Amino acid sequence: VSGAVLNTILDVIAVFGLNMGIAGSGIATMIAQWYMGLVLTIPAVIWATQSGARLKPHFQHILHSAGTGMPLFVRTLALRVCMVATVVTATHLGTNTLAAYQVANSCWNFVMNILDAIGIAAQTIVAAALGAGCRKRAGMITRICAQVGAVSSVGVGLFMIFVGWSCAPLFSQHTD
């Protein structure tokens, strides 16, 4: 949140105060991203060190992760292709459809970011356990996180269905 606030303040200063236009916006975003990177990296390094996790990368483990991470890469690429395809399709269906799509897509992306943040936190906890040499603990954490993730994903899906049905009349009286 603090990074977004900083980015907004710097955008206003650079774009309007200094009349830098899009270049000012880019510079403001770069500064905010560096700030966010440092705010997240410094505590992570401290916590990893305190928990006994290795900070130096191990090439064989990275190579193994790259191989096991291929399905995640393919999934992400497929999601991006599908997002572009849905925008193109919604654009061809007219302004009202595109507007409705944008509202739904923004809500869905918001929820996906929340679920991704939870997933990243879980990955960090598992990585800390693995880095500390606690493989059994990492396995237990992984199983618990997978179970919680499955249940919470279903809950979020049901919540999105409810919100869609209950909020649609706020945007339009049309049933199409």
Residues 24 and 85 occupy one common structural domain: no
Residues 89 and 138 occupy one common structural domain: yes
Give the pLDDT score at 102. 86
Contacts (Cβ under 8 Å, ≥6 apart) of 21: 15
Show the domain range for 43: 1-51
Contacts (Cβ under 8 Å, ≥6 apart) of 107: 160, 163
Report d(CA 53, CA 51) in Å as an integer.
Answer: 6
Alpha carbons within 13 A on the beta-carbon side of 24: 14
Give the pLDDT score at 142. 92
Taking the mean position of all CA atoms in its chain, how far away is CA 59? Answer: 26
Residues 108 and 169 occupy one common structural domain: yes
Residues 21 and 65 occupy one common structural domain: no
Q: Quick one: residue 57, left, alpha or beta (phi over 0 = left, psi -120 to 50 = alpha)? A: beta
Give the pLDDT score at 65. 78
Residues 150 and 166 occupy one common structural domain: yes
Give the pLDDT score at 170. 76
Residues 43 and 83 occupy one common structural domain: no
51, 128 Cβ separation under 8 angstroms? yes
Q: What are phi and psi of 22, to 5 degrees?
A: -65, -30
Place of tokens 């928990």: 51
Give the pLDDT score at 61. 82
Give the pLDDT score at 176. 57
Residues 83 and 156 occupy one common structural domain: yes
Residues of the chain with pLDDT under 70: 174-176
Residues 47 and 66 occupy one common structural domain: no
Give the pLDDT score at 114. 84
Give me the DSSP letters along 29-52: HHHHHHHHHHHHHHHHHHHHHHHT
Give the pLDDT score at 40. 92
User: If we measure between CA atoms, which residue out of 41, 23, 40, 30 comes closest to residue 7?
Assistant: 30
Give the pLDDT score at 53. 86
Residues 5 and 65 occupy one common structural domain: no
Q: Tokens standing for 132?
A: 């500390």
128, 47 Cβ separation under 8 angstroms? yes
Residues 91 and 4 occupy one common structural domain: no
Report d(CA 136, CA 64) in Å as an integer.
Answer: 19
Give the pLDDT score at 117. 86
